[in-house]
Each structure stands twice: as C-alpha cells, then as structure tokens.
C-alpha cells in the first residue's frame, strides 16, 4: 500500500511525524512524504525536521507565500503531478492549513482515497480561513480521524457516515509525550536568563488579532500591563513583526523595540524557535497566552494555564477538561486571566480520552484494516 503523507506548514510537522514513524514499522506500507513549502523558511523547516526526526521530504513543491487562492491553486497544480506520477492508494492530510484542503481536493478529483487526521473540529466562525479548510476537507475525505467527541457530533450533523469516523486520539500529543524529556535538555531558559514558572509565554499571529490595528493595540496595551507583573517571552511570528513595522507600533510601545534589554522592558522578543526549545519554554511557563489552536491542546496535557486570545475555539475539550480560558482581544479580560493564572503554578486539568501517545498506532492499524475492505 503506497501512502502519500502531506505537510505544508509547521503545525503539520508535529502531526505527521508519529504517523510516519508508525508506518515504517509495517513492511506492507510504502510511504512518500510531500512538503508543499507553504511555510517556506528553510532554516525553520530544517530545524523542525531535525527536532522531530522526520525524514527528508521525498518531494518538495516549493510553493511559498501568496494569497489563499494563489497558494491553494499552485499546490493543486504541483501536487497533481506527484499523484499522477506516483499513483498512491491513499493520501493523508493533517490539520487545517491551505495545503490540507488543496491536496485533498487534488486527490479526490483523481479518485484517490483521503484520510484526514484531526477531522471534525469546528470553531463555527467562517471568517477563519482554517474553518473553511476544515469543512471542505472533511466533506471529501474517506477516513476521518478525530481527537475529541465534539468532532464526531459535528461530522454527523454535516452528513458524514458514522463508519467513516474513527476516534483515534491526538497525534500532536503523541509527539509532545515522546519529546517531553528530550526537550528538557534544551538550554533555552539559560540562554534567555529565565527561571521556571517566572515568565509567561506568548504566541500571537492570527490575522483577526494583528491585521486590525485597533485590536492589535488593545492586546499590546494588555501586554504592557502584564509585563510589569511577569516577564513575557514572545517568539515573534513574521506576520506580526511585519504588522508592528507597518503600524509603527514601537513608538507607542517601546518594549517592542528590538535589542532592548533594560529591566523595565520585561518583554523578550526572540526569533521563531524549533520544536524542542519551544516545548521546553511552554512546559516551564507560569502561563501561556496564545491565538494558536494546537497550543491549547498541548497546555492542557502539560497542565499549564492557557489564555486564548480568541472568541471561539475549535477544541472545546480544552475548556471542558483542560486549562484553557477564552478571553478574545478584550484588554481587561486578558489582564484578569493572567492575574488569576499567577495565583497558582499549575491548572487543574484532566487529560482527554486517548490523548495517551498511541494515536498514530491506532490510526495506522485502522487504515491497514479499512483499506483491505
């Protein structure tokens, strides 16, 4: 059985790594790894691949940046050539980036079966490009591997057959649990002169937060208050860095200036980090502020208070059972949530069902069985 595995952006790497590792245990599976190049920073890709022990991609499409339409179309054009040449039995796509939907569309047009890992998650906010990608990918996928019960409910309401849905667990957590001890060897805390539980970690990149100047300014005003209570560490996203320059925000918020190291700043901006360095920073933080999806899941398993700078989440289990609190972009709600997090070191959380490090094994076993039918 020939399986093409697709990655395109950094969140995909953590999801595909355990699947490829598991497939390599089965002689009857031939794997091909295709990297679309949607995230095209060569150094960052190389670092993630090394951290996760991912094999070098068999095919690199080199698509790069562009509008949603351009990026999706270019991926389809180039991926079609790969599928025509390789004629795989199955294409596996993960997550919700443009590469996910583009490669799924290409495969289904050629009559090739599709497995979507991390299916059924819904924010019910169609202004999010990722929500459109999730809806379309699930609509055309043959095998839907879900991480939580809400995903099954969503898929059934959308008309998917129950026998297409498989509750396998969370492959991102497979990767986290496998690398947690390895991440402890990271020197990132020493290099940034940080002590465990004495800093907050920030990720901020979503267009709804940084593309609107007023919303971005409100978040920065909250961060200006928070950094006076606890040091904030921010691996700055290229998109956000560009907006800081475009809106000329360093004049209004001097703590954003690169290279400042005075004690009053207490806001440490660093370049994007590799997986192991970031995992160590996250696991030792007092709390995490984020607008990312996967970090909501990782903090739940780590028991770290997570303050999500969004009005919705496609991962409700992280609120029901986990450490996650939604605060949107409201300045006072952000500040209040951080103050609450500072009152204790660890949040009380349950690890969701099947977030146990064995999701990839279950997925591969299911695919071996289902593809024989």
Q: How far apart are CA 282 and CA 360, in angstroms?
A: 23
Catalytic residue among 35, 205, 237, 311: 205
* Distance separating the N- and C-terminal Cα atoms of the chain: 13
Cα–Cα distances in angstroms (integers) from residue 242 to residues 13, 191, 258, in the given order: 24, 25, 13
Tokens 């309401």 found at: 157
* 205 in active site: yes
* CB proximity list for 275: less than 8 A, separation 6 or greater: 13, 14, 47, 48, 51, 52, 175, 179
Q: Return the HEC string of the chain.
A: CEEEEEECCHHHHHHHHHHHHHHCCCCCCEEEEEECCCCCCHHHHHHHHHHCCCCCCCEECCCCCCCHHHHHHHHHHHHHHHHHHHCCCEEEEECCCHHHHHHHHHHHHCCCEEEEECCCCCCCCCCCHHHHHHHHHHHHCCEEEECCHHHHHHHHHCCCCHHHEEECCCHHHHHHHHHHHHHCCCCHHHHCCCCCCCEEEECCCCHHHHCCHHHHHHHHHHHHHHCCCCEEEEECCHHHHHHHHHCCCCCCCHHHCCCCCCCCCCEEEECCCCHHHHHHHHHCCCEEEECCCHHHHHHHHHCCCEEECCCCCCCCHHHHCCCEEECCCCHHHHHHHHHHHCCCCCCCCCCCCCCCCCHHHHHHHHHHHHCCC
Give the active site residues: 205
């Amino acid at each position: 059985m020939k399986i093409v595995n697709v990655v395109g952006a950094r969140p995909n790497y953590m999801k595909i790594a355990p699947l490829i590792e598991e497939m390599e245990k089965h002689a009857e599976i031939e794997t091909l790894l295709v990297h679309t190049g949607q995230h095209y920073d060569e150094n960052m890709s190389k670092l993630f691949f090394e951290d996760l022990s991912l094999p070098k991609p068999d095919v690199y499409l080199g698509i790069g940046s562009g509008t949603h339409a351009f990026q999706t179309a270019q991926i389809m054009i180039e991926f079609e050539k790969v599928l025509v040449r390789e004629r795989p039995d199955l294409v596996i796509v993960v997550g919700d980036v443009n590469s996910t939907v583009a490669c799924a569309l290409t495969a289904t047009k050629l009559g090739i079966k599709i497995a979507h890992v991390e299916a059924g998650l819904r924010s019910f906010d169609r202004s999010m490009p990722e929500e459109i990608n999730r809806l379309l990918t699930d609509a055309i996928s043959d095998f839907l591997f879900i991480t939580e019960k809400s995903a099954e409910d969503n898929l059934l309401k959308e008309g998917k057959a129950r026998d297409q849905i498989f509750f396998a667990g969370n492959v991102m957590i497979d990767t986290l649990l496998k690398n947690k001890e390895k991440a402890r060897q990271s020197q990132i805390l020493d290099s940034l002169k940080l002590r465990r539980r004495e800093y907050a970690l920030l990720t901020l990149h979503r267009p709804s937060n940084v593309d609107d100047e007023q919303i971005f300014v409100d978040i920065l005003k909250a961060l200006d208050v928070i950094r006076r209570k606890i040091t904030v560490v921010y691996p700055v996203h290229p998109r956000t860095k560009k907006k800081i320059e475009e809106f000329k925000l360093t004049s209004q918020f001097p703590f954003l200036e690169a290279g400042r190291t005075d004690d009053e700043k207490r806001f440490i901006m660093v370049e994007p980090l590799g997986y192991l360095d970031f995992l160590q920073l996250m696991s030792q933080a007092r709390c995490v502020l984020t607008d990312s999806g996967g970090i909501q899941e990782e903090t739940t398993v780590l028991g770290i208070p997570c303050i999500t700078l969004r009005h919705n989440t496609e991962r409700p289990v992280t609120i029901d059972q986990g450490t996650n609190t939604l605060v949107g972009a409201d300045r006072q709600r952000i500040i209040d949530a951080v103050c609450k997090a500072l009152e204790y070191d660890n949040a009380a959380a349950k690890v969701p069902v099947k977030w146990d490090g064995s999701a990839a094994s279950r997925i591969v076993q299911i695919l071996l069985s289902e593809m024989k039918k």
